[in-house]
Amino acid sequence: MNNLNTTIDKVAMSEFDMHYYQLGDNEKQWCHDEMVNNKKWLQPDWKQPDYICQVDKWILGIEPWYTCAEPKSNHYE
């Protein structure tokens, strides 16, 4: 099974528009080198330039808060 939510898969998708498991050996090696040598891939999202946390997005009105809290069901009906 292929995990599609890994850093190396994100590198492959950003550079080749393909998942890592779909690449050839040369492209896989390139993705590995890029992931190890480029600090962009080694930092978590919150350390990336221009990162805005979810709460700040709500406060600034960039995203409405209720899109993340959809009610599953109404037990009173």
The model's pLDDT over 10-65, given as tens digits with 9 standing for 90+, comes to 899 999 999 999 999 999 999 999 988 988 887 777 677 788 887 888 888 887 76
Distance CA 11, CA 14 (A): 5
Average pLDDT of the segment spanning 61-75: 61
Q: Which pLDDT score is estimated for 6?
A: 86
Question: In this predicted model, which residue has the larger pLDDT, 59 or 71?
Answer: 59
Q: Is the pTM of this model over 0.85?
A: no
φ, ψ (nearest 5 deg) of residue 35: -65, -40
Please check the confidence at residue 1 and state whether its pLDDT lies above 60.
Answer: no
Structure tokens at 16: 């080749």
Give the dihedral sign, CA 31/35/39/44: positive
Q: Which residues of 39-77 are buried (b: 16+ CB within 10 A; e: fewer)?
A: eeeeeeeeeeeeeeeeeeeeeeeeeeeeeeeeeeeeeee
